[in-house]
Amino acid sequence: MLERSLPPAERWRKLAPHEKVSRRVFVSPQEFSADEFATITSCLERHIEEINRGFATPRPPVEYFKGDGFQMRWAGLRSIAYKEGVWAGNPCQEANTSGFRLACAGAPGRLSVDSYGYVYFCVASDPVMPCGRAVGRISVDGLHALVRPLDLSPRCVQGALAAWLHDDPMRFTLDCALPSGEAFGDLFELSESETLK
């Protein structure tokens, strides 16, 4: 769902059904021309079933392919985008380009979604290492999200943020919006949870 909102210049293309796989491919514009990106995309599209079958085929150590661990990974290529892919350790850092950021109207923060679908409310109290609080997880199918109220106990999320939320700890699900104006709550079918399990 969020990938469809990427800027046109990033030329996002779906490779496989979102409900089956979760890996994204990034092709850097600094290293590849638009024509080369088109060639790479075409090649992956032709061979995607074989590639994803290889990802999902158990191989030693086979225990990695059992239980929740493998289900959480949902190995396989889901999509490709013409952008630099940088996995910084903190999904709230500007350097991290592998996820998505949603602006939050009138709020002293924003939502950041990492490449595994976990959602953080980020407060830029420190530009080098901004504070991020886990507030949810988007399902693999890209249509549902499990959310929980923002924890206001850490010092970095008190003050202006607490005043903005006031008596509605789930306000961010309505007011955090994409540049298109779509709110987080409009994009997904939301369910509340305290544990995210």
Is a pLDDT exceeding 70 seen at residue 126? no
| pLDDT above 70 as % of the chain | 91
How many contiguous H segments (helices) and E segments (strands) does the chain have?
A: 5, 10
Lowest mean pLDDT among 9-13, 73-77, 85-89, 146-150: 73-77
Model confidence pLDDT, tens digit, residues 60-85: 777 777 766 665 556 788 899 999 88
Task: Please count the CA atoms within 13 angstroms of the CA of 187 that sit on its side-chain side.
Answer: 25
Q: Which is more confidently placed, 74 or 93?
A: 93
Say which residue the tokens 């994009």 belong to: 187
pLDDT digits (tens, 9 = 90+) for 155-176: 777 788 888 888 888 888 888 8
Tens-place pLDDT, residues 34-61: 999 999 999 999 999 999 888 877 777 7
Q: Which residue in the block uniquely carries the two structure tokens 């923060």?
A: 109
